[in-house]
Amino acid sequence: MNSKTKAGLVLVVLGAVLAGALIFHKTRSPAGVRVTLRIAVTPGEQAGFVAGEANSARFKYMVGKISGIKPMFAQKLSAKTLPNSSLVEAEVSVDTKDEAHRYVEAFLQTLQGQCAGRAQLTLAEHSIR
């Protein structure tokens, strides 16, 4: 092969790779609204159990389905116990404020159902930003 043929072949391959990258590249915009919930747990020693239930895949699936948010957002829910308190803090990002309000409503009701008999839950505070 002469040098012109090699150069042409390299350009064709590079063009194909670039075209493929442009066609298959999906731009995902980050979620625009962050929901933070603080849940008071009674009795307080069950806060770890409640956080574990909130982090379970089953709970994330159920609350996402009930609230109607995208599964990729629902699976990114993170819940943790707050030190020296009986509070559990949960955070998730969603696309819109309407989705955020639906999520807040579905979250506590669904989590209370999962923890029935072991803990009583109360929404201490929530923020939607």
pLDDT digits (tens, 9 = 90+) for 11-38: 888 888 877 777 776 555 556 899 999 9
38-91: per-residue pLDDT in tens? 999 999 999 999 999 999 999 999 999 999 998 888 899 999 999 999 999 999
Show the 3-state SS of the chain. Answer: CCHHHHHHHHHHHHHHHHHHHHHHCCCCCCCCEEEEEEEEEECHHHHHHHHHHHCCHHHHHHHHHHHCCCHHHHCCCEEEECCCCCEEEEEEEECCHHHHHHHHHHHHHHHHHHCCCCCEEEEEEEEEC
Q: What is the pLDDT of residue 29?
A: 55
Q: Give CATH for domain 33-128.
A: 3.30.70.1130
pTM (predicted TM-score): 0.74
